């Protein structure tokens, strides 16, 4: 027996190794390799430039990841059903432009403009989803058309002025400039995370035990909880050395956790994974395939709009679309590097967080070392390729007869 059928008394290290082996054989890369890669990356940058691991740089990094990271979370949903959304960069740009026009030019209150910009993202996602799910146009093509069209609309909206500056004390600016200076905030949240994990795991263990089913040994739960706690407290400590917990990071982590819950613990999420594992099987099981497809593209549209607003917030201005394709590629790369499969059915929202950390660390580190941007692109491209190759290999391993 392998995997989750864990018998008490098994040595913990062996348990974890078996777990990794099982995951790999199932085509699930898991978070560990990426996390190790990230540690190596950070060590190398720190050796080359000892500002890299400074609280200031890490704190900035933690805010810089949020915009693109949110977009990557949306992409994870689309990748899970085995499709791709190429429009996210443009939708993010459009949402920011619409917000700026409504708020700055039209004088709408910030909160209203914000809500409308995010809803616009959902609506655009629904539109893409409709063409994809109802007319059977491949999602790649629909969203490619979207990429062009929404870029065009953004150009049109920003036409006269080209750039709109946002209120630098406003709500949207605060999204990325507000920090919880009180160190208690970061620390108590760092305590909350592991506590929730432990309670959930412990409760699960008790119910399994009561039903006479295999369950995780207690020490394994403790070790896992401790690992989460170490990461959480280290992060809180570093962030508190600078300005405290950034609001943006809090929003990002809460959204990632909430959407992970949605995907992995609700019937809706189950249908998303099911579509990635076999559309026909899902249809025959009574899953409303059309609706799930539309909803998934709505999630990615919504997250793209939200991400676009965070990116605009970071620079408190909105300008004509130029970097939207880089944005798309970074978000896509983040999802895949973090361990979400391009072939559907495998992945988690947390992979967006991990992946964007890698991407942003690369660009932040290379900026510190003043590497030319030409080289930066090539290195990021190389990392993405490596991740995709790993993904393909995992899916072709003899044990995983996945969709090919």
Partner 1 sequence: MPGPLLLALRGVSKRFGAVQALADVDLEIHTGEVVALLGDNGAGKSTLVKVIAGVGPADQGVIEWQGHTVQVRRPHDAQSLGIATVYQDLALCENLDVVGNVFLGREVRRLGILDEVEMERRTRDLLKSLSIRIPDVRVPVATLSGGQRQTVAISRSLLGEPRMLLLDEPTASLGVEQTAHVLDLVDRLRDHGLGVLLISHNMGDVKAVADQAAVLRLGHNNGFFDVMTTSQEQIISSITGATSHARRPPRPGEAGL
Q: Which residues bind partner 1 (CB under 8 A)?
A: 1-5, 22, 25-27, 204, 207-208, 211, 213, 261, 265-267, 270, 273-274, 276-278, 280-287, 344-346, 399-403
Task: Tell the smallest beta-carbon distance from residue 151 to partner 1 (Å).
Answer: 34
174 vs 283 by CB, closer to partner 1: 283
Give which of 234, 223, 238, 226 is closest to 194, Cα–Cα.
226
The CA-atom distances, in angstroms, between 282 and each of 179, 262, 271, 278, 346 are: 45, 18, 7, 6, 16
Burial of 171 per CB tally in 10 Å (0-12, 13-18, 19+): middle
Nearest approach, Cβ of residue 204 and partner 1 (Å): 7
Which tokens hold the place of 350? 């947390």
* Paired tokens of 250: 């809090």
Q: What is the smallest separation between the CB atom of 81 and partner 1, expressed in angstroms?
A: 11
Nearer to partner 1, 272 or 311 (CB): 272
Q: Are 224 and 201 in contact (CB under 8 A)?
A: yes
Say if CB 331 and CB 68 are below 8 A apart: yes
- Please choose, from the candidates 292, 298, 277, the residue with its C-alpha nearest in 3D space to the C-alpha of residue 341: 277
State the nearest-atom distance from the C-beta of 403 to partner 1, in Å.
6
Q: Are 341 and 395 in contact (CB under 8 A)?
A: yes
The two structure tokens encoding residue 231: 């990461």
The minimum distance between CB 335 and partner 1, in angstroms, equals 16
Closer residue to partner 1 (CB): 12 or 265: 265
Q: Which is nearer to partner 1, 271 or 380 (CB)?
A: 271
Cβ distance to partner 1 smaller for residue 2 or 373: 2
Q: What is the token pair recorded at 101? A: 């026009």
Tell the smallest beta-carbon distance from residue 293 to partner 1 (Å). 15
Cβ closer to partner 1: 301 or 338? 338
């Amino acid at each position: 027996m392998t995997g989750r059928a864990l018998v008490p008394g098994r040595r913990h290290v062996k348990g974890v190794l078996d777990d990794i082996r099982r995951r790999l054989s199932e085509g699930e890369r898991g978070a560990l390799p990426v996390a190790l890669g990230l540690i190596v990356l950070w060590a190398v940058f720190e050796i080359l430039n000892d500002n890299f691991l400074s609280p200031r740089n890490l704190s900035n990094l933690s805010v810089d990841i949020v915009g693109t990271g949110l977009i990557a979370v949306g992409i994870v949903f689309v990748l899970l059903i085995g499709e791709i959304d190429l429009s996210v960069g443009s939708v993010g740009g459009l949402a920011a432009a619409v917000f700026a026009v409504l708020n700055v030019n039209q004088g709408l209150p910030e909160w209203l403009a914000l809500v409308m910009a995010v809803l616009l993202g959902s609506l655009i996602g629904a539109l893409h989803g409709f063409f994809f799910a109802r007319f059977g146009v491949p999602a790649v093509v629909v969203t490619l058309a979207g990429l062009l069209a929404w870029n065009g609309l953004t150009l049109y909206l920003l036409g006269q002025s080209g750039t709109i500056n946002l209120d630098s004390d406003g709500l949207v600016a605060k999204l990325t400039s507000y920090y919880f200076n009180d160190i208690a905030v970061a620390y108590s949240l760092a305590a909350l995370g592991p506590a929730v994990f432990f309670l959930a795991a412990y409760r699960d263990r008790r119910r399994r035990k009561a039903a006479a089913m295999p369950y995780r040994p207690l020490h394994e739960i403790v070790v896992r909880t401790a690992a989460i706690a170490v990461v959480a407290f280290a992060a809180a400590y570093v962030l508190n050395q600078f300005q405290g917990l950034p609001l943006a990071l809090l929003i990002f982590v809460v959204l990632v956790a909430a959407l992970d819950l949605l995907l992995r613990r609700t019937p809706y999420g189950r249908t998303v994974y099911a579509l990635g594992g076999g559309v026909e099987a899902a249809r025959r099981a009574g899953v409303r395939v059309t609706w799930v497809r539309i909803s998934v593209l709505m999630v990615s549209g919504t997250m793209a709009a939200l991400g676009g607003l965070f990116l605009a917030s970071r620079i408190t201005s909105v300008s004509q679309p130029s970097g939207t394709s880089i944005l798309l590629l970074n978000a896509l790369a983040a999802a895949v590097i973090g361990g979400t499969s391009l072939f559907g059915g495998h992945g988690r929202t947390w992979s967006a967080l991990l992946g964007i950390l890698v991407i942003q660390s690369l660009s932040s580190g290379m900026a510190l070392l003043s590497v030319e941007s030409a080289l930066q692109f090539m290195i990021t491209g190389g990392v993405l390729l490596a991740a995709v190759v790993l993904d393909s290999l995992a899916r072709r391993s003899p044990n995983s007869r996945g969709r090919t």
